[in-house]
Amino acid sequence: QVQLVESGGGLVQPGGSLRLSCAASGSIFSIGVMSWHRQAPGKQRELVAGITSGGSTNYANSVKGRFTISRDNANNTLYLQMNSLKPEDTSVYYCYAVVTTTIGGLNSYWGQGTQVTVSS
């Protein structure tokens, strides 16, 4: 049993910044890849950014140069620093993680999402 809980979403003006957090808890032995995804109304869920356990990152072209993904392995926490936000960034942002549990299972988990709204 593993839980991912996102936080940090909210309303921000265009050009502003937000930092999202995703805290993983439960029967965790280790966490592999973690990533942020977003889904706007009527659209498909898309990968925003991903990070491996070793710190290698990748970004969607639409956010490259504006967003930074990072993780704190000691605290099982994932972050997404979002700068220069645009209205098209408005979406529900979801955390995803691949977790090895304390009983040796390898499973993937989704958080329930946090709303980010970019509007003036």
- Residues (pLDDT < 50) of the chain are none
> What confidence score (pLDDT) does residue 61 get?
98
Q: How far apart are the C-alpha atoms of 3 and 77, rounded to whole Å?
A: 11
Return the residue matching tokens 């990968």. Answer: 47
DSSP 7: E
Q: How far apart are the C-alpha atoms of 23 and 34, rounded to whole Å?
A: 11
Q: How far apart are the C-alpha atoms of 77 and 4, rounded to whole Å?
A: 9
Return the residue matching tokens 């921000």. Answer: 12
Q: Where are the beta strands (DSSP E) in 27-90?
A: 28-39, 46-51, 57-59, 67-72, 77-82
Q: How far apart are the C-alpha atoms of 91 and 100, rounded to whole Å?
A: 29
Q: How far apart are the C-alpha atoms of 49 and 38, rounded to whole Å?
A: 10
> What confidence score (pLDDT) does residue 21 get?
98
Collapsing DSSP states into helix, strand and coil, what is residue 91? strand
Beta-strand pair 28-39/46-51: antiparallel
> What confidence score (pLDDT) does residue 112 get?
97
> What confidence score (pLDDT) does residue 108 get?
97
